[in-house]
Chain A
Amino acid sequence: MTIIGDRKTWAVDNKEIRMGKGPLVIVRHPDGHASKMYLEDAVAAGLVPAAKGLPAGENKMMLPVEDKAAAHPPLENAGAGEAADDLTTIAGLGLASARVLVANGVTTFAQLRAAKNLSYLSKKAQAAVEAWRRV
Chain B
Amino acid sequence: MSDYSPAPSFATVADIELVIQQPIVGPDKIQAANFGLFSVSAAIRNYCRQTLYLVENDQVILDSGGGRVILLPQLPVVSVSVVSENGLELVTSSHYLLGQFGSLGRIGRPWFRGPGAVAVTYTHGYAVIPDDIRSVTARAASRLYQAGLRAADSAGVPGVVSKSLGDFAVTYGAEAAAEGTMGASGARVLLLSEKDLLDAYRV
Binding site for B on A (CB under 8 A): 68-69, 72, 75, 77-81, 84, 86-88, 94-96, 98-99, 102-105, 107
Contacts and interface: CB of A to CB of B under 8 A. Distances in A.
Contact of B99 (A69, A80, A104): A80
Nearest to A85: B100
A110 B90 CA distance: 31
Contacts of A96: 202-203
B101 A75 contact: no
A81 to B, nearest CB: 7
Contact of A107 (B98, B100, B104, B201): B100
B110 A69 contact: yes
B6 interface: no
Contacts of A69: 108-110
B101 A95 contact: yes
A62 B193 CA distance: 53
Interface residue tally on B, bucketed by range: 20 to 34
Given A69-B109, A103-B69, A103-B71, A75 B97 contact: yes
Contacts of A68: 110
Given A79-B96, A95-B200, A103 B67 contact: yes
B121 interface: no
Contacts of B150: none
A77 B99 contact: yes
Residue from B97, B105, B106, B108 with most neighbouring chain A CB atoms (10 Å): B105
Given A103-B67, A105-B69, A98 B101 contact: yes
Contacts of B100: 81, 84, 86-87, 98, 102, 107
11 contacts: A68-B110, A78-B97, A79-B105, A80-B99, A95-B75, A95-B202, A98-B100, A102-B103, A105-B68, A107-B99, A107-B100
B203 to A, nearest CB: 5
A104 B96 CA distance: 16
A99 B203 contact: yes
B8 interface: no
Given A94-B199, A105-B69, A107-B100, 11 more contacts: A75-B105, A75-B108, A77-B99, A79-B98, A79-B99, A81-B100, A86-B100, A95-B200, A95-B202, A103-B70, A103-B103
B43 interface: no
Contacts of B108: 69, 75
Nearest to A103: B69
Residue from A69, A72, A75, A84 with most neighbouring chain B CB atoms (10 Å): A75
Contacts of A104: 69
